[in-house]
Amino acid sequence: MPVSPARAAAFEILMRIETTDAYASELLHSARFAKLSAADHGLLTELVMGVSRWRSVLDSAIARYSTQQLSKLDREVLTALRTGVHQLLFLDRIPQHAAINESVELVKRARKKSAAGLVNAILRRIADSQISPRRGELEQNGFDFRSTHPLWLVERWERIYGPEATRRICEHDQSPPHTAVWIRDSYPNDKTVHDGIQLQTGRLLTRAAIVTAGDISRTAAFSQRELVIQDEASQLVALLVGTGKNILDCCAAPGGKTRIIAQQNPKATMVAMDLHPRRAKLLRSLVSESNVHVIAADARQMLLTKSFDRILVDAPCSGTGTLARNPETKWRLKPEDLLRLQAYQIEILTAAIKNLSTAGRIVYSTCSLEPEENEHVIEKVMVADSSLRLVDCRDELLRLSDSGELAWKEIDSLLNGPYLRTIPGVHPCDGFFAAILQKH
């Protein structure tokens, strides 16, 4: 029996996610799957993201109807089961027999023929059972948002942000986030309908917009980078960097923030650095601003001869502020990762500060919700270096408000003390943290 292209591709991507540290969103946009029809690509995305978002809920349904413990099942078998259960529970328009039969076929193709009967039996029991709750019913039945994320994450967010904000974060992470764009000056600024897409004014920034209809990636404005897909909180972090003459962006790829900083500083010289040559190359292909020099280097061992008056360290992090976009991350992350990431972040920030000129400013940012990677990094770096002073992000937000760039009126809600702090589900954007440090 044949397997549809979308399900075969979903199984391949989900297995890659299980066995490597690849990102679902990057695999979905890779050349390998570019030839799928729009409908097949839509189903592929729904399956990969849906299985990653709802993994724990799918696993408890499987556990309820399986005669074997989940931990005893081969990865291929569990992946085929999750894909089948996701279709049964969440996708109304897919016939049950297609969901079941193709999952059985995927297991056979993965050379796990002996598990075909088990997969068939579990999926049939789930299809016949009263639990078949489609998504709407899950919500109506007072579905427990706490079961959608690893408990250790939910419990720490409840401690840090309180139960209400935690509920909002979890619920936000369970749906595809809206698409926000950065708009170049040259694009018509009435922002309503152009090129077959519909835009709504940004919620945080006046230069941003939210795509409310149409496929932006098929527009000329997208190809010419007059419209660039980028979350509004990420855009805001880039604007916090302000203006300078010599600017360094030391964890820069794929270059979303580099592009905005370069456009805001057309006369400045800018260096954009990334550790991975492949990612530095990607940045070069995406950021065409002529004042940006791209280098592949380790920011912890920078060999730069000059100093910079503005530096951005957009550090690699756990990404817990962007789980709606990268849902697979929540299952990979372990509590002990936070301190390992912190040590790495401190190394990068400390090295970057050495290249900061007197009176120069450095913005440290992450898309993490975890204090270990945010406030604690800043506190530790400041204890070790008395030449640094914290600049209150409020002052910069007021500057952006006065200049008409910040649309969001409740400035205090974006702040946690002197820091910028956005929370997904609470604010209309990803979760970002930023601190601004100045050298005496």
Ligand X SMILES: C[S@@+](CC[C@H](N)C(=O)[O-])C[C@H]1O[C@@H](n2cnc3c(N)ncnc32)[C@H](O)[C@@H]1O
Decide if residue 318 touches ligand X (CB under 6 A): no
Pick from 413, 419, 364: nearest CA to 203: 413
Q: Which stretch binds ligand X (CB under 6 A): 92-100, 145-153, 251-259, 379-387?
A: 251-259
Decide if residue 299 touches ligand X (CB under 6 A): yes
For residue 385, what are its two tokens? 């270096």
Report the C-alpha gap between 372 and 385 in whole angstroms: 19
Ramachandran category for residue 255: left, alpha or beta (phi over 0 → left; psi -120 to 50 → alpha):
left
Report the C-alpha gap between 134 and 142 in whole angstroms: 13
- Complex with ligand X: residue 153 or 299, whichever CB lies closer: 299
Report the C-alpha gap between 65 and 83 in whole angstroms: 15
For residue 71, what are its two tokens? 């931990």
Decide if residue 180 touches ligand X (CB under 6 A): no
Q: Which stretch binds ligand X (CB under 6 A): 268-276, 335-343, 387-395, 430-438?
A: 268-276
Q: Give how far the C-alpha of residue 191 lies from the chain's centroid of Cα atoms, to the nearest Å.
A: 25
Judged by CB under 6 A, the residue of 5, 177, 214, 254 near ligand X is 254
Judged by CB under 6 A, the residue of 50, 202, 256, 321 near ligand X is 256
**Shortest distance, position 259 Cβ to ligand X, whole Å:** 8
For residue 388, what are its two tokens? 């640094």
Judged by CB under 6 A, the residue of 78, 104, 253, 429 near ligand X is 253
Report the C-alpha gap between 166 and 155 in whole angstroms: 9
For residue 382, what are its two tokens? 């400041």
Report the C-alpha gap between 283 and 135 in whole angstroms: 38
Beta pairing, strands 193-194 & 246-249:
unpaired
Q: Which stretch binds ligand X (CB under 6 A): 138-146, 147-155, 162-170, 269-277?
A: 269-277
The DSSP secondary structure of 225-247, one letter per residue, reads TSEEE--HHHHHHHHHT---SEE
Decide if residue 255 touches ligand X (CB under 6 A): yes
Judged by CB under 6 A, the residue of 195, 226, 232, 314 near ligand X is 314
Q: What are the C-alpha distances in Å from 26 to residues 32, 128, 250?
A: 11, 36, 22
Judged by CB under 6 A, the residue of 75, 113, 218, 276 near ligand X is 276
Applying the rule CB under 6 A, the residues between 207 and 246 that interact with ligand X are 234
**Shortest distance, position 37 Cβ to ligand X, whole Å:** 30
Decide if residue 418 touches ligand X (CB under 6 A): no
Bond prior to 254 in cis (omega within 30° of 0): yes
Number of residues interacting with ligand X: please give it, by CB under 6 A: 20
Q: What are the C-alpha distances in Å from 223 to residues 209, 260, 365?
A: 17, 17, 28
- Complex with ligand X: residue 79 or 234, whichever CB lies closer: 234
Judged by CB under 6 A, the residue of 257, 325, 427, 439 near ligand X is 257
Decide if residue 109 touches ligand X (CB under 6 A): no
Q: x-or-dash pattern for ligand X, window 334-353, by CB under 6 A?
A: --------------x-----
Residue 26 CB neighbour total at 10 angstroms: 11
Decide if residue 298 touches ligand X (CB under 6 A): yes
- Which among 170, 251, 317, 367 is annotated as catalytic? 367
Decide if residue 394 touches ligand X (CB under 6 A): no
For residue 217, what are its two tokens? 């990636």
Decide if residue 274 touches ligand X (CB under 6 A): yes
Residue 29 CB neighbour total at 10 angstroms: 14
Q: Is 367 annotated as catalytic?
A: yes
**Shortest distance, position 6 Cβ to ligand X, whole Å:** 29
Which H helix or E strand runs over 384?
A: helix 375-384
**Shortest distance, position 314 Cβ to ligand X, whole Å:** 4
- Complex with ligand X: residue 26 or 379, whichever CB lies closer: 26
Report the C-alpha gap between 390 and 355 in whole angstroms: 17
Q: Which stretch binds ligand X (CB under 6 A): 11-19, 61-69, 92-100, 292-300?
A: 292-300
Judged by CB under 6 A, the residue of 165, 275, 390, 426 near ligand X is 275
- Active site members: 367
User: Which parts of this chain interact with ligand X (CB under 6 A)?
Assistant: 234, 250-257, 273-276, 279, 298-300, 314, 316, 348
